[in-house]
Amino acid sequence: MEVSVVKSLVERLEEAVHEVIVGMDEAIHAILLGLLSEGHVLLEGPPGIAKTYLAKSFAYALGLKFSRIQFTADLMPSDITGSLIYNRATGELEFRRGPIFANIVLADEINRASPRSQSALLEAMQERQVTVESQSYSLPRPFLLIATQNPIELEGTYPLPEAELDRFLVRVVLGYPDSTTEVEILSKKMINGEFVEVEPVCSREEILRAIEEVKGVRADKSVLEYIVSLAEATRRHERVLLGVSPRGEVALLYASKAEAAIEGKPYILPDHVKSVVELVFNHRIIVRGGRLNPISAREEVSEIIKEIVEEVPAPR
């Protein structure tokens, strides 16, 4: 297995994105994990910290078909998936594909749409297809959904349901950058303005090849048992109302395989699991009373995950 292919691809993508993006290393890494695992990424943070700019820059660096869906309160499911349109010339109904039919889809401010519109993404995220009037249509491959959302306390937003959150491979919670980074951001804006100019650094075939290489990364049975033990510990924790599901365990396995491949390893080490576990688990755990204060709940979840990683023995 040529995991060096994955490592080379990742290095080129990181370099290209950093041409226009300052910092945000964790978010860039999370998007790479999603791409290589064929998972999806949720970027959460306050307005104005370049969540959308990052997603667009990454999409341009990949050189794949890209579409952006601006989620608003009046967005309808058909605005995402597409709909049947009557063709006067043929006298038949034809399916007009919506913006979800792209390789990289940016769901911008996803929590500003109603739960009904949000649910239109569930089938696409899990099964890589959409169904309209009993007819299923496959999405292109690779398919990566990058969603951004503002904190749910802000006016005019809807919290994502647990079923939808669970379908995101990873969630990155972003804060404001430090002052040094902000000065560097302003310096780049002085030169580039708002125009995103990122040249593609890879081909679709190369990306699909890297994805296949990640699938071939091996995991010892002891590592699989370690992943299960981490998930079970979240369910037993006294401060947790809802712990990590088996789907979360699978997500941790896939993210760990991608992490190993990025490091050029053909097998998963316990350190690979530890390095991605918070990204995978942080949106899958609901603490008691967490809905009353989501901000403090996020901090509490982070503390719980760190406790569990320290307490659950890792295999040697």
What is the domain-level CATH number for residue 267? Answer: 1.10.8.80
Same domain, 21 and 121: yes
Domain count for the chain: 2
Q: Which of 154, 184, 214 is the last residue of a domain?
A: 214
Cα→Cα distances 265→169, 213, 271, Å: 21, 11, 12
Residues 6+ apart with CB under 8 A from 180: none
pLDDT of residue 154: 62
Q: Which of 154, 187, 214 is the last residue of a domain?
A: 214
Using alpha carbons, select from 67, 54, 51, 64 the residue that is nearest to residue 14.
Answer: 54
Same domain, 226 and 275: yes
- Which is higher by pLDDT, 169 or 194? 169
Q: Rounded to an integer, what distance in angstroms lies between the CA atom of residue 35 and that of residue 113?
A: 25
Same domain, 261 and 119: no
Same domain, 168 and 143: yes
Region 274-287 average pLDDT: 93
pLDDT of residue 142: 93
Please name the residue ranges forming H helices in the chain: 3-17, 25-37, 51-62, 77-81, 115-118, 122-127, 162-165, 179-192, 204-215, 221-236, 246-262, 270-281, 294-311
Residues facing residue 104 across a β-bridge: 66, 144
Same domain, 264 and 178: no
Residues facing residue 132 across a β-bridge: 135
The region, left, alpha or beta by phi > 0 then psi within -120 to 50, assigned to residue 69 is beta
Which of helix, strand or coil describes residue 130?
A: strand
Same domain, 125 and 78: yes
Work out the pLDDT band at 210, boundaries 50, 70, 90: very high
Q: Rounded to an integer, what distance in angstroms lies between the CA atom of residue 86 and that of residue 303?
A: 55
Cis-peptide into 140, omega within 30 deg:
no
Q: Rounded to an integer, what distance in angstroms lies between the CA atom of residue 35 and that of residue 139?
A: 15
Same domain, 48 and 191: yes
- Which is higher by pLDDT, 152 or 297? 297
Same domain, 194 and 234: no
Work out the pLDDT band at 153, boundaries 50, 70, 90: low
pLDDT of residue 1: 46
Q: Which of 214, 242, 258 is the last residue of a domain?
A: 214
Q: Rounded to an integer, what distance in angstroms lies between the CA atom of residue 99 and that of residue 252?
A: 29
Residues 6+ apart with CB under 8 A from 128: 138, 139, 141, 143
How many Cβ atoms sit within 10 Å of the Cβ of residue 43?
26
pTM comes to 0.90
Q: Rounded to an integer, what distance in angstroms lies between the CA atom of residue 66 and that of residue 52?
A: 13
Judged against a pLDDT cut of 90, whether residue 189 lies above it is answered with: no
- pLDDT, tens digit, 9 for 90 and up, residues 99-152: 999 999 999 989 888 888 888 888 889 899 998 888 888 999 999 999 998 876
pLDDT of residue 49: 82
Q: Rounded to an integer, what distance in angstroms lies between the CA atom of residue 72 and that of residue 288?
A: 30
Same domain, 157 and 252: no
Region 282-289 average pLDDT: 87
Q: Rounded to an integer, what distance in angstroms lies between the CA atom of residue 186 and that of residue 204?
A: 33
pLDDT of residue 27: 92
Q: Mean pLDDT for the chain?
A: 88
Residues facing residue 146 across a β-bridge: 41, 106
Same domain, 60 and 181: yes
Q: What are the DSSP calls for 18-58, one per residue?
A: TTT--S-HHHHHHHHHHHHHT--EEEE--TTSSHHHHHHHH
Query: Rounded to an integer, what is the distance from CA 295 to the centroid of its chain?
Result: 20
Query: Which two three-digit tokens encode residue 102?
Result: 């792209």
pLDDT of residue 296: 66
- pLDDT, tens digit, 9 for 90 and up, residues 227-276: 999 999 999 999 888 899 999 999 999 999 999 999 999 999 999 999 99
Query: Which two three-digit tokens encode residue 34?
Result: 């999603």
Same domain, 207 and 240: no
CATH of the domain at 185: 3.40.50.300
Same domain, 184 and 238: no
Domain span at residue 56 reads 1-214
